[in-house]
Amino acid sequence: MPRFTFSKPLTLLPLVLAMGLASSAQAQNLVDLYAAARAYDSSYQSAKAQYDATLYKADQARALLLPRVGLGASASRSNYESGSIPPSPRIDRMFGTQTATLSASQALYHPADNATVLQSLKANEQATAALKAAEQDLIVRLSQAYFDVLASSDNLAFVKAQKAAVQEQLASAKRNFEVGTATITDTREAQARFDLVTAQEIAADNDLRVKNLALAQLVGQQAAQPKPLLEPVALNAFAANDVAAWVNKSQTEHPAVQQLQVALDVAQLETRKAQAGHLPTLDLVASYQASANNGSATYSADYGSNATSLGVSLNLPLFAGYSIQNRVKETVALEEKARADLETAQRSVAQGTRTAFYGLESGLGQVQAYEAAEISSQSALDANKLGYQVGVRINIDVLNSQSQLFDTKAKLAKARYDVLVGSLRLRLANGTLQEADLQPVNALLAK
């Protein structure tokens, strides 16, 4: 059986990837793009504005415990006429009055207002937790978009390398057919595979374009270029330890749990406010009034007066048509609802944390399996190429081996990216994700 010499098709893959690395010389890493997304993303900006608004609203509630001072002034002009029977004189007089009043009050005992102020402080805690959740969501969305671009870019590179290898195999089959050492079947099989890979290349190129658009929409940069991973990739540091520890932390650290815990505290304070409807209120009130008069109906000379008062005002509700009692019953029921909502959230967060934990473990296992499969697929391709040369294998065996190898490489790259995003999703699931968690992932990227 004649022997045929083939150049190695896989030698084109390092060239394709090297070209990709060269084009990423001005690329941004994960931390850089997160900073851009934080300043551009409208969802995060909305959450930030809501946080600021909540803080200002809390300051409004504090005004209930602070003194209130008011100034009032008035001025009037009167015309007085009085006719009488002679010889009594007729009275025709005009006079004016100017009055200014300065009043102040200070709440001494307002239990309902005290509860309202405490609720405003709890609202600040809710706003902080909501902003934390928005930050965590942005980190995961940005990371997912970042590695989606890298995965799509790798897939396109692998498809192009496979296309070059199939094209070389097609040319070899045509040469062998021309010299009579192979049948037309080899040529047609190689042509069919080449056409298939060409279609895959078109789809991969479009997918990369779509992924780039998604990233650009997130960071506000049309030319955003994520930096690729360094080789070799070490993922051992991202292995999780104990699922129970992750779940336990989620019960207090997760923003959704924190918000509902605060909601329960607010509901309890609302009950206190309702119960305060039976209690009296006490205020310290003071006023100073100055008036000036340019005469009066019976007095023609100018005169003025000053009046100062200081005292306390007590208000004691006696009967309000059972509205207070029913309001208390309503708030107690809402308090139970808030408690049930909190328990539901804790269970949901625990389940989500377990799912993310086992998903990360599975991803790490898949990476190891694909790494072994890559080595095996490379060995299988080499063996099929050698077998084709000596005549114990046919062209379709080589083509299948090439497809399997490049498919394995693409899945391995995707599995690695999934592990990196999965490590962030695990921290998102238990509520501990923060910007610093991007640093270990960022350290694996090209410098």
- 387 phi and psi angles, rounded to 5 deg: -65, -35
pLDDT value of residue 267: 96
> What is each CA distance from 98 to 101, 224, 297, 328, in whole angstroms?
10, 71, 15, 49
Can you read off the two tokens belonging to residue 18?
């090297």
How far does the chain reach from its first CA to its final CA, in angstroms?
51
Q: Taking the model in full, what pTM does it have?
A: 0.82
- Give how far the C-alpha of residue 402 lies from the chain's centroid of Cα atoms, to the nearest Å: 42
pLDDT value of residue 293: 83
- Give how far the C-alpha of residue 146 lies from the chain's centroid of Cα atoms, to the nearest Å: 16
Check whether the bond before 111 is cis (ω within 30° of 0). Answer: no
Domains of the chain with bracketed CATH: 9-67+110-280+320-442 (1.20.1600.10)
Biggest alpha carbon–alpha carbon distance for the chain? 156
- Which residues on adjacent β-strands are paired with residue 90? none
β-strand pairing of 68-82 with 91-109: antiparallel
Tell me which residue of 377, 417, 423, 419 sits closest to 400, measured CA to CA.
377
Alpha-carbon distance 399 to 172, whole Å? 12
DSSP 298: S
pLDDT value of residue 23: 44
- Segment holding 107, helix H or strand E: strand 91-109
- Show the beta-strand stretches assigned E in 295-415: 302-315
Q: Give alpha helix (H) positions in 100-233.
A: 111-178, 184-219
Tell me which residue of 201, 37, 143, 193 sits closest to 442, measured CA to CA.
143
Predicted confidence pLDDT, tens digits, the chain (447 residues): 333 333 334 444 444 444 444 444 467 899 999 999 999 999 999 999 999 999 998 888 888 889 999 999 999 887 766 665 566 566 666 778 899 999 999 999 999 999 999 999 999 999 999 999 999 999 999 999 999 999 999 999 999 999 998 998 889 888 888 887 778 888 898 899 999 999 999 999 999 999 999 999 999 988 889 999 988 888 888 888 889 999 999 999 999 999 999 999 999 999 999 999 999 999 999 999 999 887 666 666 777 889 999 999 999 999 888 999 999 999 999 999 999 999 999 999 999 999 999 999 999 999 999 999 999 999 999 999 898 888 778 888 888 999 999 999 999 999 999 999 999 999 999 999 999 999 999 999 988
- 306 phi and psi angles, rounded to 5 deg: -125, 140
pLDDT value of residue 388: 82
> What is each CA distance from 414 to 221, 243, 370, 429, in whole angstroms?
24, 24, 10, 21
Locus of tokens 């934390």: 132
